Chain A
């Protein structure tokens, strides 16, 4: 049943290929994403997650199954993210008639790829589905992109291909080193990988996944790509597809914890590169789209910080905050950046420029656009009440979880502190951009512009709604994440609520002891 989640968009692709009426394609795409969303909700509500036994075997030796299932809360949340952003993306942007079919097919393929990767329970398809987006991205940027579209299309494609290949090396090494005869995650988790191999595997995984996530210094593809690609493509890419790398690292971390911890300091240096280096690059951007692209790269540093905290702790049990923090922030960032990129596209459509020097004072002409953009901008710099803040604050807590007051600061704590400074940097560029676009006197291209029409507003309002809901009630998402939460909530009912203790104590025993008192 869960396979339908991937099949629906693919069927949509076939329907577009078969169909003759180009007008219907856009509507079809939206409908398909809606159906997928409803399916997801339905499956989750009915508790259908599809175990291993029903997945068809596609290869006997080693055993590879077309395993698609809602593996755990993380999968579900990433699925939600994909469906949410894809739905909004389907309603954003437009193109010439003759490219309409290609446009919608690309969109559906990218969405299907992301969904497939997130719900695969098998390493092979986990990797394979992600690549489904490569060619559509290449085509869409090349045909319909902004600016130096051809160069950028090449750069992004080769870069992503390179990252995928390094990743593949890591995965293959992992498989052969584990000696497993089945590539299902469940079976892989049962194996143990010799520690001398773990280091190498972990390095490959970090670089491979890192390239896909635009980890410094493998980031230079990302910003131009997001800036150049047509809005729905960049929304899906920056919002959803990029999260695949982080999802993968979190998913595979339990397999190579020792190897990862060997590279902890490397990860930290790189993530600081993301936050500080790219943050400074972002400050210096003169165009709104490039600024957003770079900011998205920068924010990946925060998710990596949560990952670093996880590495430092060694397992989820040691630092229960890190994983949920990373996932929540991934979700929040995905929705936010999608919203920002979608609205940026609108700004370009309405004013004909994205050069910050030519913009200004839009807020008085287009109050709705200004409000929605401002909301998303504020979300991305971590305004409480919007989803990103919840994620970020949890990331910081995760970063300090491993700190004991008696010892000096560990590298993760130092990274956390630097990341906190990154909040200042991101506020600088985001507010500057907002100020130059929407506030102050009118710029050379903004003497007249129309506000968003109702149909243009809808996707952004939808995303804003998601941001607010998750921002105010993060537990809606976090509650999906696992059983550990519900267990302790049962035990907590025995105590008065004010007695709940938040302890960074690394020894679970003493924590329990305090809880029991």
Chain B
């Protein structure tokens, strides 16, 4: 039964996508029902599985002699919790999309894409070995490509989709090398068999192992959009907003964190000790800081949220990289809470955008609180959770991460505190500018409350944002939840520092942005750098132009000219040239022929008789 359920959970969305794509192209509404039905079913299964025992199910996928690649499902604490997040958020996003995409002509394709995504994400979560994880890793990238490029007629959407895919490919380049190296080091792809096998080798090969882990981390770098491969995520906001909520906030981008933690969980924390873990933690920390800085100057509501997502992902990666006693678990805990409130925020922003006739600039919004109270309240709850206000879910998980950082890497702790100051700052900015004050744009003035089918998911998510962090709930639902070693106390210095950060962030936000019609910091040079995302995109553009396009032009020229023209063409020309030379000998003159006869004979006689 368990087996059947697990496989159903994996394959149902695939069947749904296949049916929609192959059979129901013309019947969009049936297609939507199938898609929503399948995700609802998987959510139910995920709930059912919560009570099951740990199992690993495998089938052989590709055999080569004595060698096998397997497809397997691993059912344990980690994957069960992750499945709740994935299918739970997924279900709500599907429901939200029902209304959000109602007018879209290609909604059949959209829901097929969502189904493929659900399938791939389930695959990542349940993957029992690295090869299978890589398979689904690529597939989520693909479904993300499809969904970002949903409105492919727009140049910007098509470019964004391409960029997302390519940047992820770069990450996967390292990921695959890492997988292969780890295979060499640990002797297996399967997570279940990694435990223990590492400890033997880790001492003698710690550098090698470290490199392998870092290469595997490259995959997370791409998928979880860490610096310097973060550039695709903000652009990915070109996709429909529910997609941003599901894929680019709650689930897929968290896959990198999940994968790292899965490795840590299976192979043992030891392989993260040393420079590998430190590097990962620092990358996470720097990402969270840079992203938070960039978020302070974004005007597009979705982009603010996107950078905020980057920043929070940086937190999680940092936590996993710290390789402290339970820092990884803290990261996963944050992943879990973040999924709910960030999905809430994105769907909320989707509702706002929907209401404002696809207006995304916050400076053209304003005063939405009067027009759409319910949405605003849910958005406020999400904002509060993201700011980590006690006792919302974000608070608990962020506190765990800060604890861990404080314990292991004080420098990173202070970095995280800066981020904890910036987060309330930009969220306050967002909230004040978009929801309070007076309406500044045409769309905002006409906005009205969204239909109930969009509101229900918001309510459900707000509910989760509030309660998900409490221990009884988290114990049940959070992947690999770990009780904090000491219970929360108001006198804990970490708490006090973070509280101060929160207050500074909120108050400076209120002070700066209350009643403003435009950004007071826009003229500042430093903030201009933030607004321009530290010129990452421009730098990459130069890099691509010089190192790829220019080299490609040169190589193409060499290929055509040297290989094609000089060498091959030269050989052909010399052959026909020699041929023409021979033809010259054929003068038609009898005596010329006789002379050559004689010359030939003398040559041969010389060679045989005299030069012997």
Contact = CB atoms under 8 A, between A and B. Distances in A.
Contacts of A385: 135, 139
Given A383-B139, A439-B149, A479 B63 contact: yes
Nearest to B564: A220
Given A220-B568, A435-B158, A424 B169 contact: yes
B566 to A, nearest CB: 11
A280 B65 contact: no
Given A435-B162, A441-B155, A478 B62 contact: yes
Interface stretch (B357-365, B473-481, B544-552, B584-592): B544-552
Interface string A498-517: 10111111000001000000
A353 to B, nearest CB: 20
Interface in B141-191: 142, 149, 152-155, 158-159, 161-162, 165-166, 169-170, 172-173, 176-177, 180-181, 183-185, 187-190
A158 B572 contact: yes
A424 B170 contact: yes
A421 to B, nearest CB: 6
B55 to A, nearest CB: 9
Interface in A348-376: 361, 363-364, 367, 371
B608 interface: no
A172 B299 CA distance: 73
A9 to B, nearest CB: 32
A147 B165 CA distance: 33
Given A485-B64, A500-B70, A403 B169 contact: no
A421 B190 contact: no
Given A384-B135, A394-B69, A474-B62, A283 B158 contact: no
B152 A438 contact: yes
Interface stretch (A14-22, A250-258, A317-325): A317-325
Contact of A400 (B25, B65, B180, B188): B180
A283 B548 contact: yes
Q: Which 3 A-B pairs have the closest CB atoms?
A: A320-B65, A324-B64, A439-B158
B455 to A, nearest CB: 33
A427 B169 CA distance: 8
A406 B205 contact: yes
Given A281-B555, A423-B172, A498-B56, A384 B166 contact: no
A280 B551 contact: yes
Given A427-B166, A500-B58, A440 B152 contact: yes
Interface in A315-344: 316, 320-321, 323-325, 328
A503 B68 CA distance: 10
Interface in B181-222: 181, 183-185, 187-190, 192-193, 201, 204-205, 208
A390 B138 CA distance: 12
B559 interface: yes
Contacts of A384: 134-136, 138-139
Nearest to A285: B556
B610 interface: no
B331 to A, nearest CB: 27
A145 to B, nearest CB: 18
Which of B152, B184, B205 counts the most A-chain CB atoms under 10 A from its CB?
B184
A68 to B, nearest CB: 27
Which of B60, B66, B70 counts the most A-chain CB atoms under 10 A from its CB?
B66
Interface in A488-502: 488-489, 497-498, 500-502
A412 to B, nearest CB: 12
A416 B180 CA distance: 10
A60 interface: no
27 contacts: A277-B555, A281-B556, A283-B552, A284-B552, A371-B21, A378-B142, A383-B142, A384-B134, A389-B138, A393-B134, A397-B69, A403-B184, A405-B201, A420-B176, A423-B169, A427-B165, A428-B548, A431-B162, A435-B162, A475-B62, A478-B63, A479-B63, A481-B64, A488-B65, A498-B56, A501-B187, A502-B67
A445 B488 CA distance: 67
B44 interface: no
Nearest to B120: A384
Contacts of A504: 183-184, 187
B69 A393 contact: yes
A435 B163 CA distance: 11
A467 to B, nearest CB: 14
A404 interface: yes
Contact of A431 (B166, B193, B548): B166
Interface string A207-221: 000000000010010
Contacts of A484: 65-66
A220 B567 CA distance: 11
A72 to B, nearest CB: 13
Contacts, number: 193
A274 to B, nearest CB: 12
A475 B61 contact: yes
B522 interface: no
Contacts of A220: 559-560, 563-564, 568
B138 A383 contact: yes
A56 interface: no
A432 B159 CA distance: 9
Nearest to A391: B62
B205 A396 contact: no
B72 interface: yes
B64 A420 contact: no
A417 interface: yes
Chain A interface category by residue count: 35 or more
Interface in A380-430: 382-385, 389-390, 393-394, 396-397, 399-400, 403-406, 416-417, 420-421, 423-424, 427-428
A179 interface: no
B192 A498 contact: yes
A367 B105 CA distance: 13
Interface string B63-90: 1111111101000000000000000000
Contacts of B60: 475, 489, 500
A489 B63 contact: yes
A417 B177 contact: yes
A51 interface: no
A482 interface: yes
Contact of B193 (A399, A420, A501): A501
Contacts of A416: 177, 180
A474 B67 CA distance: 14
Nearest to A364: B153
Contacts of A474: 61-62
Contact of A277 (B56, B166, B559, B572): B559
Nearest to B59: A497
B460 interface: no
B507 to A, nearest CB: 46
Nearest to B151: A439
Given A432-B162, A439-B158, A497-B58, A389 B135 contact: yes
Contacts of A316: 65
Given A384-B139, A431-B166, A505-B187, A320 B149 contact: no
A271 to B, nearest CB: 16
Contact of B549 (A283, A482, A501): A283
B511 interface: no
Which of A382, A383, A403, A498 counts the most B-chain CB atoms under 10 A from its CB?
A498
Contacts of B539: none
Contact of B62 (A367, A394, A420, A500): A394
B553 interface: yes
Given A384-B138, A406-B205, A423-B172, A502 B183 contact: yes
B131 interface: yes
Nearest to B162: A431
B142 to A, nearest CB: 6
Interface string B113-138: 00000000000000010010011101
Contact of B64 (A283, A320, A421, A501): A320
Interface in A155-176: 155, 158-159
Contacts of A511: 66
B177 A420 contact: yes
